[in-house]
Amino acid sequence: MKGLKVERIDPYRLMIPRQACMRTHGMVYADATIEKWLYTDEALSQVVNVACLPGILGPSIAMPDIHMGYGFPIGGVAAFSKKDGVVSPGGVGYDINCGIRCVLTNMHLDDIVPLKEQILQRIFTKVPSGVGSKHKVLKCTDKEFKDIITQGARWLVKKGLCPDVDLECHEDFGVLPGADPSNISERAKLRGLPELGTLGSGNHFIEMDVVDSIVDKDVAKAFSLFENQVLILIHTGSRGLGHQVCDDYIHAMLRTLPAYGIDLPDRQLACAPLAYDDAHTYLSAMAGAANFAFVNRGMVTHLVRSAFEEVFCRSWESMGMYLLYDCCHNIAKIEEILVHGKHVEACIHRKGATRALPPGDDRLPPRFRHTGQPVIVPGDMGRSSYILTGEEGSQETFYSACHGAGRLMSRHKARKQAKGRSISDELHRKGIYAVAARGSTLAEEMPDAYKDISDVVNTISGAGIARVVARMRPLGMIKG
C-alpha cells in the first residue's frame, strides 16, 4: 500500500485514481472516522488489485465496513462485463451466501426480558453451533440434497418447514437459478449435508434485539416494525459446502489461468472469463451453495420458532414470527446495470455487501416495491444494529450497501486484547446475555474488535445509498 494515492471527493467518498495496472479507479465509501482505520491493513491495495481485472465496469468499490479478505476486500463490490469480463471465487468468498435474516415478532420488550436467558438457552440446545458443528436430527437423502441445491427455500416450503409467504421475503425469492449439483464435488457434499440447520463458527450468530428507535415511520409500518418490538437476527451461510466449492474452483481456475493469458496482481484473484465454460461451471456450483445457505438459514429459523413455541406454549404464528427479509452477503450474479447511460449485463460480485434495491425496482415483490428492499445491517455484540432500505443512489454501487460493522482487529489480536477480561461479564453489565460454543469466541468477537456500526451506517446513508428505517439494540445472542 506504500505510495498509494487516495483523494477525498466529498464527506462520504474517497477515490483511488488509476495507477499501476488499474483499468478503472477505486471508490471507497468512508467518512473521516472510517478513513482513520483504512490504513491498518491491505484492504485498499485489494481495491486496487480488483480494478486490474479484465472487463471491470465502473469503479472497484469498497463499502465503509471494508477490511482485508481473500483476494477481494470484505466489503468489496465489483461489476464485470458479461461479454469480456471475469468471475472470481475470491470475489464471492469461501462462505458462499453467508447472509442475514430478520425474523419479526409481535412481542414487546417486557414480554421477553423475564425469559430472555431461558429462550436463548433453549435455542442453543436446538441449533448446533461452533467449528464443525453437525445436526444429529436433521437428515436428508441424496435426492433431497439435489432438490435443496436446485430449489433453495422452495424446498423448505414443500417440506412444511416455512410458510409460502417467507419466499417473497428472500433475495431472489430464495433460489438462484442455474444451480447444477453435478458441478459440486463429492467432498463438498459430504461436508455440507451434516451441517444443515447449524450456525457455524466465528462471526455467525443468532441474536435477540429490541427496536429502540424508529427513524422512518412510514417504511417501518410497511415493514411491520414498532418501538420496543423484539426481533431475531440469524447470521449464517453455506458452511463446509460453500467453503469446499470455493476452494475447488480457486484451484481449478489457477490451473486454467495460463490458457486465458490473464496476468493477476495477486493469485488470490484467480478467475475465469465469463464467456467460457469454466466460469459457467463455477457459477452453477456457487448458485447451488447459495441455495444450500438459504435452506440452512431456513432450517435454523424453523428451530428458533420451535424454541419460542416451547417456552411460550404458543404457536410461532400467534407470536408473529414471520420473516422480514433474508439478505445475501457473499454472492456473484448476472444483473442488468446502467453504465454510461446504457443498460448492460454484468456479473456483480458482492463480498461482504448487501443488495439494496430502491423503491420501484421491478425485481422486488409488490410488498416492497414502494419502500425499497430491506437491508439488515448488524453491529457488534455490544452496540446497535440497523434496518435500512435501498435508495435511488444505490445505482452508483450497482445496488449494493454495507453488510455489517467490519472488523478492526484480527481474531488473534482480539484474543490478545481481551486477555484478563471477561467479555461475558462486560456484556452482562450492559444487560446483554451471551452464549458461545467456544470460550475464545466472545473474545474474538468482542465489540472492540469492530468498527462502530453507527459510523458505517452514517456513511452509507449520508452518501444516499440507503436510508435508515430503524435502530435496534442487543438483548442477547448465541455465537458460533
- 12 DSSP assignment: T
Chain mean pLDDT for the chain:
94
Which residues have C-beta within 8 Å of that of residue 350, sequence separation ≥ 6?
77, 328, 329, 330, 331, 332, 400
Which residues have C-beta within 8 Å of that of residue 437, sequence separation ≥ 6?
129, 130, 131, 133, 199, 201, 479, 480
Q: Is residue 48 within 8 Å of 3, Cβ to Cβ?
A: no
According to the model, what pLDDT value does residue 130 have?
60
Average the pLDDT over 125-146 and give the result: 75
On whether residue 431 sits in a domain, the answer given is yes
pTM of the entire predicted model: 0.96
152: how many CB neighbours lie within 10 A of its CB?
Answer: 28
Q: Is residue 205 within 8 Å of 183, Cβ to Cβ?
A: no
Asked if pLDDT for residue 136 goes beyond 90, the answer is no
Q: Is residue 43 within 8 Å of 65, Cβ to Cβ?
A: no
Give the span between the Cα atoms of 139 and 129, in whole angstroms. 17
The predicted-structure confidence for 414-448, as pLDDT tens digits, reads as follows 999 989 899 999 999 999 999 987 778 999 999 99
Asked if pLDDT for residue 363 goes beyond 80, the answer is yes
According to the model, what pLDDT value does residue 440 have?
86
Give the span between the Cα atoms of 87 and 258, in whole angstroms. 16
Asked if pLDDT for residue 477 goes beyond 60, the answer is yes
CA Rg value for the chain: 21
- Annotated catalytic residues are 403
If pLDDT is split at 50, 70 and 90, which confidence band does 2 have?
A: low
On whether residue 312 sits in a domain, the answer given is yes
If pLDDT is split at 50, 70 and 90, which confidence band does 252 have?
A: very high
Give me the domain span that covers residue 152. Answer: 7-479
Give the span between the Cα atoms of 329 and 440, in whole angstroms. 25
Average the pLDDT over 333-341 and give the result: 90
Q: What's the Cα-to-Cα distance from 466 to each of 355, 429, 456, rounded to whole Å?
A: 10, 33, 12
Give the span between the Cα atoms of 466 and 479, in whole angstroms. 28
Stated as kind and residue range, the H or E segment containing 236 is strand 230-236
Q: What are the φ/ψ torsions at residue 376 (nearest 5 degrees)?
A: -100, 120
Which residues have C-beta within 8 Å of that of residue 280, sequence separation ≥ 6?
none
Give the span between the Cα atoms of 339 and 430, in whole angstroms. 48
Domain count, the chain: 1
DSSP SS3 for 424: helix
Asked if pLDDT for residue 137 goes beyond 80, the answer is no
The predicted-structure confidence for 318-330, as pLDDT tens digits, reads as follows 999 999 999 999 9
Average the pLDDT over 11-36 and give the result: 96
Kindly state the cell numbers that stand for 34.
472510517
If pLDDT is split at 50, 70 and 90, which confidence band does 132 have?
A: low
Asked if pLDDT for residue 17 goes beyond 80, the answer is yes
Give the span between the Cα atoms of 154 and 150, in whole angstroms. 9
Helices of type H across 152-276: 153-158, 186-192, 217-222, 239-260
Give the span between the Cα atoms of 457 and 462, in whole angstroms. 8
According to the model, what pLDDT value does residue 140 have?
76
On whether residue 307 sits in a domain, the answer given is yes
Asked if pLDDT for residue 138 goes beyond 80, the answer is no
Residue 362 sits in a domain whose CATH number is: 3.90.1860.10
Kindly state the cell numbers that stand for 133.
458443528
According to the model, what pLDDT value does residue 341 have?
84
On whether residue 1 sits in a domain, the answer given is no
Asked if pLDDT for residue 1 goes beyond 60, the answer is no
On whether residue 2 sits in a domain, the answer given is no
On whether residue 258 sits in a domain, the answer given is yes
| 3-state DSSP helix/strand/coil % of the chain, to nearest 5 | 40, 25, 35
For the ranges 46-55, 243-252, 337-346, which has the lowest average pLDDT?
A: 337-346
Measured over the CA atoms of residue 247, residue 248, residue 249 and residue 253, the dihedral's sign is positive
On whether residue 21 sits in a domain, the answer given is yes
Give the span between the Cα atoms of 409 and 254, in whole angstroms. 30
Give the span between the Cα atoms of 240 and 194, in whole angstroms. 9
Q: How far apart are the first and last CA of the chain?
A: 33
Closest CA to 150 of 352, 294, 341, 5: 294
For the ranges 99-103, 191-195, 350-354, which has the lowest average pLDDT?
A: 191-195
369: how many CB neighbours lie within 10 A of its CB?
Answer: 15
Kindly state the cell numbers that stand for 468.
435508515
Give the span between the Cα atoms of 108 and 311, in whole angstroms. 16
Closest CA to 221 of 469, 472, 468: 469
